[in-house]
Amino acid sequence: MPAIRLKTNVSLGGEAATWLPAELSRITAETIGKPERYVMAVCEEASMIMAGERAPAAFVEVGSIGGLGGDVPHRLTALICDALKKRLDIPPDRVYVCFTDVSADKWGWNGSTFG
């Protein structure tokens, strides 16, 4: 039930389309403390401008039923930014990460909701 969605103006062709969702899924599961079997990772290319420039950038949304308390958003942001810098050469100051803690009755799966 954690979900991570990356939108970027950097090409995700080739190997990036395979390893990037897997890496984001692993990072999310480990940091939030939820089983990876419940994590969904989506990576999409998008037309994007940040600070008036078309330079490499990314917008990341992380949603979860719990698990986002304390320093989790800070740690997960650091890990996401590090991965995007290493893998796609996106500078951390060109990455926004938005966190949403969703109640169990507002998250659907398998024909029902978690709450």
Percent of the chain predicted with pLDDT > 90: 89
pTM as predicted: 0.94
Contact 44, 5 (CB under 8 A): yes
Nearest residue to 96 via CA among 62, 45, 47? 62
Are 62 and 97 in contact, with CB atoms under 8 Å apart?
yes
Domain-by-domain residue ranges, the chain?
A: 3-108
Active site (annotated) includes residue 73: no
- pLDDT in the model for residue 62: 98
The order of strands in the sheet holding 58-64 is 40-45, 3-8, 58-64, 95-101
Tokens of 79: 């890990």
Fold type of domain 3-108? Macrophage Migration Inhibitory Factor (3.30.429)
Residues of the chain with pLDDT under 50: none
pLDDT value, residue 1: 83
Query: CA 96 to CA 90: how far, in whole Å?
Result: 11
pLDDT number for residue 15: 77
